[in-house]
Amino acid sequence: MKFLLDTNVFIEAKNRYYAFDMCPGFWDWMDAVCNGDVASIVSVRDEMTGGKDELADWAKDRKDAAWFLAVDDVDTQGNFAEIVQHVATAHYTEPAVAKFLDSADSLLIAKARSIGATVVTHELPNPESKKRVLIPDVCLVFDVPFVNTFEARRQFSAKFVWSA
């Protein structure tokens, strides 16, 4: 089972329930499962390294690691072209399409489709949305599975145990 993580998974973890200072075990676990089962893409890394915080440092420290997969392969680029065609001709507003295509989201879905991975995101489907292209809505069109962080963690049976 392969999982590709959306930028919002990392940001939410850092800002809320798995902050580096409160739950370093989460980040250790992330590195431990990054063995082909859990990863992201270089475009997500690029979004994270634009900041000046612990998450940016964490992502920069993994620049040459297996954490962030390339998206320039033929399969991913072919899937990306199909996704672009879909969102450009769907019911979304032009600003929504532009924002979606400018983010890592479209390439994340394209890569997941090319390697048979599940996208991990905090976004929820909303097929009626016109002002925002949501990852789950595009995943549904292209038969790419998606889950949230907690569902993914359960599938890995990950547990973080407190000790004094």
State pLDDT tens for residues 117-139: 999 999 999 988 999 999 999 99
Domains of the chain from N-terminus onward: 3-156 (3.40.50.1010)
Closest CA relative to residue 158, chosen from 58, 9, 28, 69: 28
- The pLDDT value recorded for residue 37 is 80
CB atoms within 10 A of CB 3: 24
Closest CA relative to residue 123, chosen from 23, 4, 6, 3: 6
- The pLDDT value recorded for residue 134 is 94
Average pLDDT value for residue range 3-23: 91
- The pLDDT value recorded for residue 164 is 62
Distance, in Å, from the CA atom of 138 to the CA atom of 73, rounded to the nearest integer, reads: 20
Average pLDDT, the chain: 90
pLDDT at 15 exceeding the cut of 90: yes
pLDDT category, 89, cuts 50, 70, 90?
very high
